[in-house]
Structures are given as structure tokens and as C-alpha cells.
Structure 1
């Protein structure tokens, strides 16, 4: 009998874990197996869902070049992680057009993904359109990198991260500090009085970054997530980045400790270098023995009445 068979038989009469609890368990098992091995980055762009977060952290300050105008020389201005992310939260609150979908509707999204092979090669752009059931009671129709598929309706007790059901997303706190604790204590009752330990931050990061990958969130939740990210340890600022359309921006990236996922850097969230408006995400994926740089942003979102209906 090998170790896997032992695991299968252990406490076989117990109630099966939820998807969220299973994700947490796998992450902790992964950490135990990897330490003290060499660091490995979790890079694969997920089909619909996976995370970030934070609370007490020193903001990393970097100097970026800001152009004053065509007739003046560029000047330098110190910018911090907190400045960019709080500015992004303010822009999101100013620009967001919240939706209030009915349970019988679908969330429509159109996401643009540009990929370029590392080491050279032609770029390719995908336009992914997806229709996700608001309450999970209907089949969803999703696309990733041009591959479409029907997703079965939710089964009783089924859960995903980020939540696919709008009602579950709306239960998440829009207060940054409380959001971090809710993500840390996922699956149980949040303990808002307990400090977060150092070994809990990577898991919080996974849940928060997965939340930020979700193309559509209830009003106030994305700004809260940006502000939560601004306070977490292990976040750094990357000036001189561009988004998939070549617009100049500033990157924000979580970097874990050696031996943990994303030790060499996680996905990069890119913000406009002047307004701090969120522009999209830069990441990498591996397929067929090759590595691809990937830029993505959401081009459209809405609540619609049926699959393949566009706003």
C-alpha cells in the first residue's frame, strides 16, 4: 500500500471537504513537500479562478519618471506600493459601473489576452467571451484562449474560488482589513482580533489574487481588494511596465519567500503610471514545452438574460 492509498483510506467516513478547504489543504501540503527544496512558481493562468491579500507591511518606495509635458524635462517622483494601489482603488470607485444581476441571469465578459513566446516568435491575441450563471443553477458557457466549453450547473455543496455565485461574492467584506481576515479564515468564522502570522500570508495572497482575477465583482469589492493588497508584506513595485496595448504603466507584484509558490514573483497587476487606473494583468503560462508572456484585460462586462446574448 503506497502513501496515496493510505491517504484515501484515512478517515474515509468523514464528510468530504469543500473545494475551498481542499485548496487550502493542498496548498499547505505543497509547502510541506517543497521546503526546503528550490522555489517553484505557480504560473498557470486558471480557467476562471485562484488569489492575494495582506495587512501589516512596510510599503516599498521606488522612484519613477513622470513626464511634466512636452516642453519640460521629465522629473522624478517617489511612488510607493500604497500610493499606486490606493490611487487605483480611488479610480475604481470613481469609474466603476456596478451591476445588480438577477439570479436567473448570466454574467457576460469579454476578455482580451495577448501572448508572446519567450525567446521570440509571433504574438497571438485571443478574445474570450464567457457567460457565467449568476446563481449556478444553469449551465455556463466559458472561453479560455479560444477554447470554449459548457460548464455544468453547480451541484449541492459545490464551491469554487473565486465564488462563481454572485450571492457568495456579495458576502465578502468591502472593508480592506476585514476582507483580508475573511480570506485568511476562509471556510470558518473570521477572527478579526487575531493577528495574521507570517506563514499565513502566502495563502491569503493566493485567495486575494484569485479574487482580483475575477473579471466582474460587486460594487466596492475590487477597490477593497486593491487597498488590502497595499498593506500586505511581500509586495513590490515595478516601474516601466506596459500593458498589452503598449500603454506605459507601473507593475505591482507579490513575491514569496524561497521555497514557497511565487518565490520568483507572481502575476503582475499593471496600473496607469499617471492616474493609477487598473489596466490589466501580466503573467506567464507554459504549454507544449514553451513559455509564453501573457497580457490580459477585461474589455466588456454586463448582466444578460441568456447565453450568447451580448450587451
Structure 2
């Protein structure tokens, strides 16, 4: 048996990381080798190649495979193949990637612009950064509906897209810039599982939580720490599953993570929510029914980034 070929077959075509990035993996590998009880090391060709005899060859191959497949991307410098991805590790890597993104908070009078691809076409939204200015949503059919700002606890009432003169209703500002959300994964999980405006299901309805994660990630400006907490909280959901060959709403391929349905849910009605990340960077792409194709901060409704 060619032991090095065995190791090569195990690791496939995954590129090696820089030496410094492999430090943590090297320590783990050495521990795996020691635990496996590697047999005698024999030089096959002086100065060129070594072989591990006996069961140690298989143990070493398994140890290297474990390091390549299971170590976090930010520690090892590698990315797991989408078809064999660990859903928890994918979400942790997505959180790590989110922390590295640039943060340029919008001004209170600016708007968070988002274009999303949906099953019925494209949707564009201009959401007030602080929730007090009048925003707008443009639907796929070209129609619009207003997002009235909440000022002094009151918001304009509309009939269709026409304001009803002199008629307002109580409100709470819904900012597009969500610096109000938790920056800790545990706190974010508790928030997403509680009774509040961002939780659409009952406590313990994790598929609903998945939809809430997508909704928050789609049309809101989330500071890096908040976005990282969002994906870190998602990683705490029991029963997550990786999806092979996942695509977002725009058809872009990536690594998909799906949330479990509740026992007794009708599969004809309740569809598992899938969140999709780029396989190379782990940046958020969208859901299985939506895709964020453009986003940014603008000064006025109707402007594009």
C-alpha cells in the first residue's frame, strides 16, 4: 500500500494553507498521531520519503483527514467541501467572515438600500436608517408601497399608497440600521427565540427562526459584530443539516444550511428554510427563495449605491 497516496486520496484536491496558519492544526495532528499509536517509521528512499507501517498508516491518514475536514477555516486556512460540510462549522466560519467586513454606519437620515431576487422577480427597498424617515419598497410588478417613518410615536396611515390626511397611528421606530441587536451569540439566540418583532414563530420553532435570520440578513444594515452574532446564534440550533449543491434565489451556488421542522409539520405546507453562503468566503448570499444582489447606503429614496 502507498501510504502517502492513501493520505492524498483522503484529502483530495484541497489546497494547503500557509505554514503559520497550520500551527493549530499541526498540534491537533500530533495529538491524533500519538493517540493512534503510530507504528515504526521506515525510510523508503533516503532523504525523500517516509512510510508508517502497520495500522499507523491508516491512523495517520484518518488524523490528517480529520484536521482538514473539521478544523475551523480561520484556524487552518482551508475550506470544507460543500458536499461534506459541517453545518455548525459553516455558520461559525460565516460569523468569522462577517467580523472581517468593513463597518461604515449610516447616518440617521440615510437609507439602507437592498435589491433582492425573489421567486416573482426583483424587489428593491429603501429603509430609513433610524426608522423615523419615510421609506419605500418597490415590488417585482413595478408597484410601490410606503414605509412610513415613526416620529414622536406616531406614523402616517396609508390606504394603498395614498396617505390618509390627518390620520396617524401609534408606532415604534423600525430602523434599517440594527445596532440595537445583540452582539453575543448566546444573547442573539435568546432574542431570536423570544416574543418580539423579529421572531415570527413560537419558542422552539427553529424553522421560523431560520426565516427570521434570513429576513434580518436580507434588508437590514447589520454591524459586523451583530451579523457575526446572528450566524453564531444560528449555529446553536439543534438538528441543523448541510445541503449539497445549494443555490440561492439568484441561482448562485454555495454551501446551504437548513433548519429542522417541528415534529408533525406538514411537509406540503412547511418548507425547510435554507440559508446559503459562498463556498470560498462564507459570506452570506441569501436564502433558497431569495438572494441579495445589491445593497448599500444612500441619501434618499430612489437613489442607488
CA–CA separation in structure 2 for the residues paired with 1:267 and 1:66? 31
- 1:152-167 correspondence runs (5 A): 152-154=148-150, 156=153, 157-159=170-172, 164-166=174-176
Q: 1:101 aligns with which of 88, 106, 110?
A: 106
Does residue 181 of the first structure (1) align with residue 190 of the second (2)?
A: yes
Q: 1:150 aligns with which of 146, 149, 164?
A: 146
Q: CA distance change for structure 1 residues 297 and 66 in 2, over 3 Å: closer, same or farther?
A: farther
Structure 1 residue ranges without an equivalent (≥5): 1-64, 70-74, 116-123, 189-198, 284-295
Write out per-residue CA displacement over residues 17-74 of structure 1, whole angstroms, 9 at most, x where no aligned residue: xxxxxxxxxxxxxxxxxxxxxxxxxxxxxxxxxxxxxxxxxxxxxxxx97548xxxxx
Q: Report the number of matched residues.
A: 205
Q: 1:83 aligns with which of 81, 85, 89?
A: 89
Q: CA distance change for structure 1 residues 201 and 154 in 2, over 3 Å: closer, same or farther?
A: same
Note if contact 2:110-2:298 (Cα within 8 Å) is conserved in structure 1. yes
Q: 2:245 aligns with which of 240, 244, 251?
A: 240
Q: 2:130 aligns with which of 135, 145, 148?
A: 135
Residue matched to 1:38: none
Does residue 308 of the first structure (1) align with residue 291 of the second (2)?
A: no
Indicate the structure whose relative CO is greater, using CA pairs within 8 Å and at least 6 residues apart: 1
Superposed CA RMSD in Å reads 3.3
Q: CA distance change for structure 1 residues 153 and 243 in 2, over 3 Å: closer, same or farther?
A: closer
Q: CA distance change for structure 1 residues 127 and 208 in 2, over 3 Å: closer, same or farther?
A: closer
Provide TM-score, normalisation by structure 2.
Answer: 0.57
Provide TM-score, normalisation by structure 1.
Answer: 0.56
Does residue 112 of the first structure (1) align with residue 117 of the second (2)?
A: yes
Residue matched to 1:229: 234
Note if contact 2:112-2:220 (Cα within 8 Å) is conserved in structure 1. no
Structure 2 residue ranges without an equivalent (≥5): 1-10, 16-80, 154-169
Residue matched to 1:216: 221
Q: What is the DSSP-based 3-state SS (H/G/I as helix, E as strand, rest coil) of the residue aligned with 1:227?
A: helix
Q: What is the DSSP-based 3-state SS (H/G/I as helix, E as strand, rest coil) of the residue aligned with 1:220?
A: helix
Q: What is the DSSP-based 3-state SS (H/G/I as helix, E as strand, rest coil) of the residue aligned with 1:86?
A: helix
